[in-house]
Amino acid sequence: MRKSELLDLRWADLNRQILSVRQTVVWVAYEPKIETPKTNAGVRDLMLDAGTLGWLEVRPAAYITEREAAGESWAEHDLMFRDREGRPLMPWRIDHYWRALRNGCGVKQIRFHDIRHTYATPTPRWRLLRGWTCGCWLSGWGTQTRASP
């Protein structure tokens, strides 16, 4: 997924194990703007693996806690990935979390953008990530998980 797609995922986009990508968030002059995906192929449904679904299952409780802690400053957007006040994250935050997770997993220097290709095209860089689930990098906000051999 592109960062812009990931940053605009909403809980309403998740139906059982299918995640629907229908829109993106881009930042213009430090303001988030909702747009359609970059290409027609960007509008799609993704089937999620069990590890990713497990990680997402615990997020609603965190969502409620964060919303209550923010109080009146909470901006309701139904976003899966948001700041402490419910607003869309700036794209650089993904890079920050990715670098910390990548280094913690012991993976070589791979950009966040490169991991979207690991699901589409087996490349030499893919081999570096083999064995690490989607849930591993998603849990960059928590614990890393190793896939079964």
The overall average pLDDT reported for the chain is 78
Going from the C-alpha of 60 to that of each of 54, 64, 66, 74, 122, the distances in angstroms are: 12, 6, 10, 15, 33
Question: Other CB atoms closer than 10 Å to residue 105's CB: what's the count?
Answer: 17
> Averaging pLDDT over each range in 3-7, 26-30, 70-74, 137-141, which range is the top one?
70-74
Region 64-76: what's the mean pLDDT?
A: 91
Selected residue with higher pLDDT from 146 and 138? 138
CA 70, 75, 77, 79 dihedral sign is negative
Region 35-62: what's the mean pLDDT?
A: 85
- Binned at pLDDT 50, 70 and 90, residue 141 comes out as very low
